[in-house]
Structure formats: C-alpha cells, structure tokens
Amino acid sequence: MNGADGRPLARFGYGRPVVGRVVLVSHRVPAFAGSAAPSGLVTALKPGATAFGGLWMGWSGRCVAAAERRLSLGTRANVDYAWLDLTAPEYRHHYAGFCNQTLWPLLHGLTDRVRGNPEDYRAYRSVNHLFAWRLAPLLQPDDCVWIHDYHLIPLGAELRALGVRNRIGFFLHTPCPSPVAWRALPMHGPLLASLRAYDLIGVQTALDADGLCRLLTAVAHAPAAEFVASRIGVFPASIATGVVAALARACDDGMHACRPDRGCQRVLGVDRLDPAKGIDRRLAGFDAFLRDHPDRHGRTELLQVIPDSRRGVPGYQRLRARLNARTAAINARYRQPGWVPVHTMMKGLAAPALIGLYRTARVALLTPLRDGMNLVAKEYVAAQDPDDPGVLILSRHAGAARELAGAVPVDPEDAEQIAYAIERALTLSLPERRQRWSGMYRHLLTHDALGWYADFVSALNSAPCARLSSTPRP
C-alpha cells in the first residue's frame, strides 16, 4: 500500500499496521468541505483516510426538510463516504448554535462569548443521536470507529446505547478547557460522562492530556489513574509533509505571481475568520512595528488571508467589520505611492496558490489566542525553500509551538512583543534561518499526517475496552 505521496507505507515505520476497517466520523467530510480552504481536521485526516481506506461519515453540507432527509453513499479516492443531510433548524441550533456559540468559545478560553441556549443543546443531542442511528447499521464487527471533535462528543455514548460493541475512539482537535470554565455549562456533567464510552481519547498536547484528566477528575468524578494510564493519549495532528514540500517545489516556476511587488518582504497570516485566531491583536502588532521602524516603510507588507467562515454565527460579521476598519486605519496612516502596508484576502485559496504564498513569504505571523494545533504553521515550514527559508513567528498558545522549536515565540495578546518579533524575524541571518528551519522540517518528516493517523488507530486497537463498562447516555 502506498501513502498519499506515492511512497510505500512500509517505509514510514509506523509500528503496528491498521487492523480492520477504520470508520471516521466528523461534522464535515472532504467532499463537501470545499477544495479551496479545507479545515484543519480534513487536512490532518484525509492523507490517512486515502492511504488506508475505510468509511467516512459526516454532514452532507445540505439542509433539507425532515421528510426529504437522506443518507447518501459513495466512494472517492479509496474512501467510502456516508453523507447525512440535516434540517435547517438542526444546522442552526446544533452547528451555528451549540457548537459554535457555546462549545467553541468555551474550548478556546473565550468565556465572555459563551452563549447557553437549552434549545441549542437539545438539537446538539438530537443530531448526535441521529448520527448514531444512521451509522450503527453501516458498521461491521471488526470496524474501529474514530469520532472527531467537539461537534460529536456524545456520539460514542449514543452508539453504545444502540448496542454497538466495536472499539470507539475520540479525538479532540481543540484545546481542553479548565474545570472552572467547563463548570459554567449547565450540561457539563452529562457531556463529560459521555466520554466514558470511548476506548481511547486523543488530544493534541501533554498539556491538554493533563487538563482533560483534571477536568474529568474534578467535574465528572472519573478515576484519574484509569484515564491517564490507558484512556487518554497525546497524538499531535500533522500534515502530509512530503506532499506539501513537493508541491512547493513544483510551484517554483510560477512563483512570480505570488511574490510581493517591488522586492517587498512579505509577512503572511493565514487564518479563518474567528476571534480565537487573534487577528485583531496581530494587526495591532504590525501597526506597532511600522510605528517603531519607519525604515521598513515601503519595504515590508502584511498579507492576511482570511477564508470566510461561519456566516450564520452572530458576531463573526462584526469581527470582519472590525478587522476591515483596523486595516483601513493602518493603511491610511502609513501608505505611500506604490506601497500599501496591509493587504487582506477575504477568501479561501486552492492548495497551489496557498503554498505559493507560503513559499514566497519571508515571515509567517501566526498568533492565535489559543489553538489546538495550527496546521498552517506546519504547512508553512514544509513549503519553504531549503536554500532560503522563511521564519515562523508562532503564538506560545498554539499546540504546534510544542513541536516547532525553531519558531520565534510570541504572546499573541502583546502587540509590542509581536512588533519586536517581526523585526527580529526580518533581520535573522541566512545561516540562522536555515538552522531554525531544518530542525522543524526534519521533525515534520518523521511526524506527518500518515504517522498520526496510524499511531492513533494502532493505539485504539490495543486500548482497554470501555464498551463493557457502564456508559450512560448523555
């Protein structure tokens, strides 16, 4: 069997092979996530799914009347898909409501943005039950089920309630909240109790594993030793490193379209439109950089790519307006004939165009307030020219900061520190840039998306069985 970049999987040395069929379940699936700007979840999962095959179930991207709802089946690129329709109220209350206005801000420490709505929670539970009801008949006896992210926390317990005895794993792509923050949810107890249905729970960092253990111990009264020893594992999500690097090399001949004008050094940010990404403070940091370094005027630009997201979630359009206003103020203050300091792209980009921007940017400026991993940081490193690599500036609060030791670390809320980091990154010597980049790139070659996928599934296949324990339905 070959990997996503065409190499035989045997050469990766991933330990035990994947046993049986892997059934992935996530809110969205690649076929409907959009080719221009796939989510981090899809970026991490798709290489392994394509290489190993299996079934992937998720929302179809369609909202229909309840009487018209259907489960569609199909096969694409070695993967069988099951696409489930939702109704408009389910989408509004489950996804736009409980997932994105309650769980998402809670998980990212934005407690002032958490909205609690009983109708949203009822829809969240109903959609998880629907997923379980439609998935259970598709399962084979030797399947292992791998459920992804906060949209589907109770799904394992719902499957157990339907009599499913397969191994079931769960992976949380976001950070783990503190017990104090979690207790703010009226329904925190049932949600955490539902985690007992899983044979293995994967998180991004050791800090998240420790936090989840403390959370379960303090809030759900779970035996800490049981979860630490055998039920919680650290599995940092990653990218198809070799594929990104090869695509960057292949794009070299057409890079002129991606390069900044007039020899400017480009600072690049790539983030979804989201308050957790820290874009507002990043713009403040670039403003401070221009204030402190007038010699950089006309020679440095910030390009911020912001794929639009979650249009139905209140507050996101206000965030867009605030970012546009700050960008306009910076440009009005510093622009010169032939030079505009800040450019924004409010759209997603196809992979070749995005990788071209990575390859030609002198600096990547990625400053999320809190982030489970941040795969953009890893893609930027993988896309660099080994002879003339760029510099990564990365928030200390991104999971990727635990792996990418060659990055320049920053406090994402400190505009002055961001300004200092930009100047430092622009002035690093070529030997130091190469040294920083090479260590990160070597790490990503040996810790890529296929390894992440195989490591989790192997661990799930050998984990103690939760399916024989009592797993109350949330």
Catalytically active residues are 173, 371
The span from the CA of 390 to the CA of 381, in Å, is: 8
CA separation for the pair 311, 164 (Å, rounded): 36
First to last CA, the chain: 40
Which residues contact residue 377 at a Cβ distance below 8 angstroms, ignoring those fewer than 6 apart? 364, 366, 392, 394, 398, 400, 404, 407
Report the run of H or E that residue 378 belongs to, with start and end: helix 375-382
* Cβ 327 vs Cβ 292: under 8 Å: no
Q: Are 441 and 384 in contact (CB under 8 A)?
A: yes
Instruction: Please choose, from the candidates 472, 473, 469, 416, the residue with its C-alpha nearest in 3D space to the C-alpha of residue 230.
Output: 469
Neighbours of 440 (CB within 10 A): 23
State whether residue 17 is helix, strand or coil: coil
Q: Which residues contact 173 (CB under 8 A, 6 or more apart)?
A: 40, 41, 44, 148, 149, 150, 204, 237, 372, 373
- Residue 174 phi/psi, 5-degree rounding, is -90, 170
- Torsion from C-alpha of 300, 304, 305, 311, nearest 10 degrees: -160
